[in-house]
Amino acid sequence: MFLRERLHYAWVIVALAGMMGFVTSAMRFAAAALVPHLTGPAEGFGWSYWEVTLAFSLQWIVLGLVSPYVGFLGDRYGVRKLLLLGALFFIASMMLTGVMTNLWQYYLFFGVFLGISTSIFTVLPVSGVSLWFRRHLGIAMGIVWSLQGAGVILLLILIGAAFSQLGIQWIFWLPGIAGGALLLLMVKFFYNGPAFIGLRPLGADADEPVQRAGQGRGGDDTAKVRARVFIQQAKRTFTFWNLIGIHYWGCMGHNIINVLLVAIAVDRGLSLPVAAGVLAAQQGMGVVARGFVPVVAERLGCRTIWITGMALQVFPLLIIFFLHDAWAFYTFAVLFGIGQACEVPTFPIANRQYYGNVPQGTLFGWQNLGNGLGMGMAPVCAGILWDLTGTYLAPLFLSLGFSSLGLVSTWLLPSPRNRQIPDWESHLPASVRAAD
C-alpha cells in the first residue's frame, strides 16, 4: 500500500516543484554575496548600499503585488501557462542582468523582470502541490522547500569559487541558460491537478470523484466562482489578515539579514570568503530545517512552529550585537537559519489546517503579498539607515524590531485544530454546489 502511494504522480509533482524552486530561488538569496562587488569599484559599479538593496526591495515588492493575481489566475486557468511565462521572464532577466551597465538596468532586469518570474514560481508550484495531497503534505512540502534552499547553497559556492574567473556576467548567465532550459522542460510535466490525468489526490478516499468542478481546468467558470467566493469568506476572518501580517513582519526581519549579512561580516573584519561561508551556513541550516519543519507543523500545529521560529529570529541577533568573531557569526547563522526556515514552509500546512481543501493558489497568493512587501521594504530601509548612520547596528536593530512584531503576531493565532470557515461552500451559487 505504501509502495503504491510512493509511486503516485504526486511525488513527481513534488520533485518538479522543488527543482523549480531550486533554480529560481537561488539568485534571489545568493545574490546577497554580490553586494560587496556591486558597492565596490572592482566591477565598475561603485553603487551605494541603498542603491544596491533597492533592487532587492523592488524585486520582492513586485512579487508581493503580483502574487494575489498570480494565485487567482492559477486557480482559474491552471498553472502550466503561467509557469511557462515565468520561465521566459526568468531567462530574460538573468541574461539582461548579466550585461547591465547602468543602475536603471539593474532595477528593471534584476528587480522587475526577476520579480515577476519569482512571483509565479513562488506561488504556483507550492500551491499546486497542495492539490495533489490529502495525506503526507508535510513530507511533500519539506522536500520542496529543502530543494529550494539547496539551490542557494550551490550558487553561493559558484560565486565564492569562480567569481574572479567568470565575472559578474557569467554568474548571471550560467543559471539563466542552464536553469531556464530546465524550467522549460519541467513545465511540460507539471499538471494542473490530479484529475487532469485521471487520478485522485494522494490519500484521498476511494469514493472521492476523480473529476471535480473547480480544479482549475481552462474554461471552467466554476473554478473562478469557487476562488472568488472562498476568498470573500476568508477575508472576514482575523486569521486571514494575521497570516499575511506574520509573513510581512517575519520577512521584514529576516531579509535584512539575507541581504546584508555578508556585508555586515565584512564590515566587522571577516574576509569575504569567510563572510560568504557565514551566509552559506545560514542557508545550509535552512535547507536542513525546511526538510522537517512542515512535517512537525503537520503534527504539532503551525502556531507552535511559528512561535519557535520567530523566537529564533529574535534572540540570536543579540550574539552579533556584542560579538564579532567568526565563530559568533557562524553560531548566529545556524540559529537564525533554523528560525527563518520555520516561517515560509509552514504556510501551506497552515492553510490546510485553518481552511481545509480550498482554492490554494488564491489564498497563498494573498499571503505572498505580505511576503513580498516585507522582503521588499526591509532591505532598502536597512540600506538607507546604514548609509545615514555609517554603521551596521541600525539595520540589526531594524531586524530585531520586525521579528519581535512577528513573534507577537504568532501568539495571537487561534488553535489550528479549529477550522475558520468550514461552511464557506454554502455561500456558493446553487448551480456550482449542484455541479460539485
pLDDT attached to residue 432: 65
The rounded percent of the chain whose pLDDT value lies above 70 is 92
Query: What is the residue-averaged pLDDT of the chain?
Result: 85
pLDDT attached to residue 262: 84
Question: Which three-class secondary structure state does DSSP give residue 359?
Answer: coil
* Neighbour tally for 102: CB within 10 Å: 9
Tell me the pLDDT tens digit for each residue of 374-413.
Answer: 887 887 788 788 888 888 888 899 999 999 999 999 999 9
Q: What number of CA atoms fall less than 13 Å from residue 191's CA on the CB side?
A: 16
Least confident residue range of 58-62, 76-80, 316-320 = 76-80
- Residue located via cell numbers 511533500: 140
Which cell goes with 422?
468550514
The second-level CATH assignment, the architecture, of 2-197+218-423 is Up-down Bundle (1.20)
Query: How far does CA 133 lie from the centroid of its chain?
Result: 20
pLDDT attached to residue 49: 73
Read off the pLDDT band of 361 (50, 70, 90).
Answer: confident
pLDDT attached to residue 316: 94
Residue 214: pLDDT over 60: no
The mean pLDDT value for 335-364 works out to: 89
d(CA 96, CA 420): 45
Judge if pTM exceeds 0.85. no
Any idea where the domains of the chain sit in the sequence? 2-197+218-423
Residue 283: pLDDT over 70: yes
- Residue located via cell numbers 529543502: 146
Read off the pLDDT band of 210 (50, 70, 90).
Answer: low
Which cell goes with 389?
548612520
Q: Which amino acid is at 360?
A: Q
pLDDT attached to residue 403: 95
Q: Which amino acid is at 69?
A: Y
Highest mean pLDDT among 105-109, 270-274, 321-325: 105-109
Residue 434: pLDDT over 60: no
pLDDT attached to residue 436: 56
Tell me the pLDDT tens digit for each residue of 176-204.
Answer: 899 999 999 999 999 888 888 888 888 87
The mean pLDDT value for 49-61 works out to: 81
Q: How far apart are the first and last CA of the chain?
A: 29
Greater pLDDT, 91 or 79: 91
Residue 19: pLDDT over 90: yes
Tell me the pLDDT tens digit for each residue of 293-320.
Answer: 999 999 999 999 999 999 999 999 999 8
Tell me the pLDDT tens digit for each residue of 215-225.
Answer: 444 345 677 78
pLDDT attached to residue 364: 87
List 145's β-bridge partners, or say none.
none
Residue 257: pLDDT over 70: yes
The mean pLDDT value for 129-133 works out to: 88
